[in-house]
Amino acid sequence: MALSKVTDVIADLPLGVKATGGAVLAGAVLAAIWKGLGTRQANRKVYPRDTIVIHQIGRGPCVPSLTPFAIKLETYFRMEDIPYEVVHSWLRPSRKTGKVPYLEYNDLEVPDSEFILEFLSKEKNFDLHTGLTQEQIGVGRAFQKMAEENTYWCMMADRWVLDKTNMVWKVFRVPRILWGFGKRSIQKTMYAQGMGRRTPEEIRHIMSEDLKALSYYLGSKKFLFGDKACKFDCAVFGILAVMKWASFGGFGASVLQEYPNLCDYCERMKETFWPDWEEMIQTDCTK
């Protein structure tokens, strides 16, 4: 029986039966995940010492990763010619935060893209802000935090909750029966963060105002601070890349198109640091 037919049958069941069935399904899903984790743990690859290994959720159908923070890290490593390895598995998040991406380095685990870069800058002895003035560092951090702590949540709402086509759920191949549970979980997180208390119109407006500020500052410059890209470009590009190429049925891409210089900026970052972009993207969200 096709999955769609199964879900239709489930929808017609009495509430008590659905509740019991939901508990059984949840248990089965958790058991499958646990089994998968055990298999992956047993088959973990052993890397040479001092290898930078980034764990992320897998290549996307339109972008090298569906998480902008993995794009940020990989773009920076490419920009600075830092060798690294990538492990694709959303079933094995950080033990510290339960999220990806995270760094595996020798016997250490470092979560959070920004902490990863700070850790590696000390471990490998390189400057994250080479060539930038103190003023530029201040401006760069402000734009990075706007993008990662504000624009990002607009994008999350657009892609995972507001999109009526549910395209991102289909891309991740999440069974339809779990969409409602997943949306409620994301909405709960977004409500606590604050963006979830906004109307769809307000969320779109906030996203547009963020992009307008970034567009005004970028102007006709090649990158944020001139002809040479920096760490802050990598962070901003991560957010914009997912918005431009992986909004799916959401409004993110159309909002970004209102700012041509940001669209050109995305293409420029892609061409400069991802000449293998088409080779990196995968329709089944794997490596």
- Sheet containing 102-105, strands listed edge to edge, beginning at the edge strand earlier in sequence: 85-88, 53-56, 102-105, 108-111
Is 207 within a domain? yes
Q: Specify whether the CB–CB gap between 265 and 217 falls below 8 A.
A: no
81 and 188 fall within a common domain: no
Rounded distance between C-alpha atoms, residue 144 and residue 232, angstroms: 6
Q: What are phi and psi for residue 236, nearest 5 degrees? A: -65, -40
162 and 228 fall within a common domain: yes
215 vs 59, residue with greater confidence: 215
Name which of 194, 7, 23, 174 is nearest 183 in CA terms: 174
Is 168 within a domain? yes
Is 10 within a domain? yes
168 and 234 fall within a common domain: yes
Q: Specify whether the CB–CB gap between 269 and 237 falls below 8 A.
A: yes
Among 165-179, 192-206, 229-243, the range scoring the smallest mean pLDDT is 165-179
List the alpha helices (DSSP H) in 147-257.
152-156, 167-171, 179-193, 200-218, 231-245, 252-256
235 and 150 fall within a common domain: yes
Is 278 within a domain? no
pLDDT tens digits, one per residue of 201-226: 999 999 999 999 999 999 999 999 99
pLDDT tens digits, one per residue of 253-269: 999 999 999 999 999 99
Is 86 within a domain? yes
Is 84 within a domain? yes
In whole angstroms, how far apart are CA 224 and each of 77, 128, 147, 167, 271?
A: 18, 15, 13, 32, 16
Is 265 within a domain? yes
pLDDT at 172: 82
CATH number of the domain that residue 225 is part of: 1.20.1050.10
Q: Specify whether the CB–CB gap between 130 and 80 falls below 8 A.
A: no
User: Structurally, how many domains does the chain consist of?
Assistant: 3
Q: Give 162's contacts (C-beta < 8 A, 6+ positions apart).
A: 200, 203, 250, 251
pLDDT at 14: 45
Rounded distance between C-alpha atoms, residue 158 and residue 278, angstroms: 25
CATH number of the domain that residue 109 is part of: 3.40.30.10
Q: Using CA atoms in the order 199, 174, 170, 254, what is the torsion angle rounded to 10 degrees?
A: 30
Name the domain boundary from 102, 124, 146: 124
268 and 138 fall within a common domain: yes
220 and 113 fall within a common domain: no
**CA 186-187-193 angle, 5° bins:** 90
Instruction: Report the residue count for the chain.
Output: 287
237 and 219 fall within a common domain: yes
pLDDT tens digits, one per residue of 15-46: 443 443 444 444 444 444 444 444 444 457 88
Is 154 within a domain? yes
What mean pLDDT is predicted for residues 51-61?
A: 92
Q: Specify whether the CB–CB gap between 234 and 69 falls below 8 A.
A: no
Domain containing 17 equals 1-43
Name the domain boundary from 72, 100, 124: 124
151 and 239 fall within a common domain: yes
68 and 115 fall within a common domain: yes
**Token pair in block for residue 21:** 């069935």
244 and 261 fall within a common domain: yes
120 and 197 fall within a common domain: no
Name the domain boundary from 89, 124, 159: 124
Q: Give 211's contacts (C-beta < 8 A, 6+ positions apart).
A: 151, 255, 256, 258, 259, 262
Q: Give 141's contacts (C-beta < 8 A, 6+ positions apart).
A: 232
Q: Are strands 85-88 and 53-56 parallel, antiparallel or unpaired?
A: parallel
184 and 238 fall within a common domain: yes
pLDDT tens digits, one per residue of 79-137: 999 999 999 977 789 999 999 999 999 999 999 999 999 999 999 999 999 999 999 99
